[in-house]
Amino acid sequence: MALSTCSVRVGTISIPSTRQRWSCLPTVGKTHSQKPPLFRVLADFSPPKARFVAKRTESTSVKQLQRPLVEYMSLPASQYSVLDAERIERVDENTFRCYVYRLKFFSFEVCPVLLVRVEEQPNGCCIRLLSCKLEGSPLVVAQNDKFSASMVNRVSCNVDLGNSSVQELATDTTIEVIIDIPFAFQAIPVQAIESTGTQVLEQLLKIMLPRFLAQLVKDYKAWASGDTSRQPLGTGQI
């Protein structure tokens, strides 16, 4: 490839001074009524949180064609292909919506929908996550206001290889997710939840990054051969 907390305040308990005397009998000569002590209960409650972090770097060799790879990697974002029309939509020149594959987390299936922005950089780009929305069961959808996520994916070609006929294309990605642990899972140790969540993210990167690079190489070959249509070549399959 953004947690709200629930709070209930617990306040003070007001207890009368030891010098005060309370009686169940009427008091002669008193013109005012005495009020019972006020008990106020205020509480602060913050659900436990779990943090998942996954990092992965992938690279692939690319044979240079009529037009150099570094020129392809220097294209403005407005000329980017969406690569896979089944999974990616262009929102504007620099912003894209990505539909990630369904993930299995414990007994639930989760389908993240990412909104990302592309920042042009020398010899490549940086893809940053703007927001993430979860789709799935009602319990999954209910977590949308209870987590935050960040992602940075740096894509580049190795300019140190000069005019070599074979170039290197690389991607370096970091994902971090912080969630409020739902009540139904709070009996599970936090470490177990974090371990499972991290494994899910690592597996996701292990599958998606090689596929992403393969799509880039395929798109580069189409562009280098003179195809300026920038039509997506992906089919939505893993």
Q: What is the pLDDT of residues 149-166, one digit of tens each?
A: 999 999 999 877 667 889
Helix (H) or strand (E) holding 197: helix 190-224
Exposed e or buried b for every residue in 199-230, given b needs 16+ CB within 10 A?
Answer: ebbbebbeebbebbbebbbebbebbbeeeeeb
Q: In this predicted structure, what is the pLDDT of residue 46?
A: 82
Where is 56: in which H helix or E strand? strand 49-63
User: What whole-number distance in Å separates Cα of residue 62 and Cα of residue 218?
Assistant: 10
Report d(CA 128, CA 8) in Å as an integer.
35
As a whole number, the mean pLDDT across the chain is 80
Distance CA 76, CA 97 (A): 18
C-alpha–C-alpha distance, residues 107 and 115, integer Å: 26
Question: Residue 101: its pLDDT value, please?
Answer: 77
Which range of 43-47, 159-163, 200-204 scores highest in mean pLDDT? It is: 200-204
* pTM of the shown model: 0.73
Summarised one tens digit per residue, pLDDT across range 165-179 is 899 999 999 999 999
CA dist 96 and 75 (Å) reads 16
CA–CA dist 193, 46 (Å, integer): 17
Task: Say how far apart CA 203 and CA 52 lie, in whole Å.
Answer: 12
- Residue 15, pLDDT > 50, answer no
Mean pLDDT to the nearest integer, 84-112: 85
Catalogue the E-assigned strands of 81-201. 88-90, 95-99, 103-105, 108-121, 124-136, 147-157, 166-180
pLDDT for residue 136: 82
Asked if pLDDT for residue 31 goes beyond 90, the answer is no
Name which of 33-37, 132-136, 232-236 the model is least confident about: 33-37
State how far the Cα of 71 lies from the Cα of 149, in Å rounded to an integer: 32
pLDDT above 50 (res 214): yes
Residue reference for tokens 């992602």: 151
Using pLDDT thresholds of 50, 70 and 90, give the confidence band for residue 148.
Answer: very high
pLDDT, position 234 = 57
- 65 and 227 in contact (C-beta within 8 Å)? no
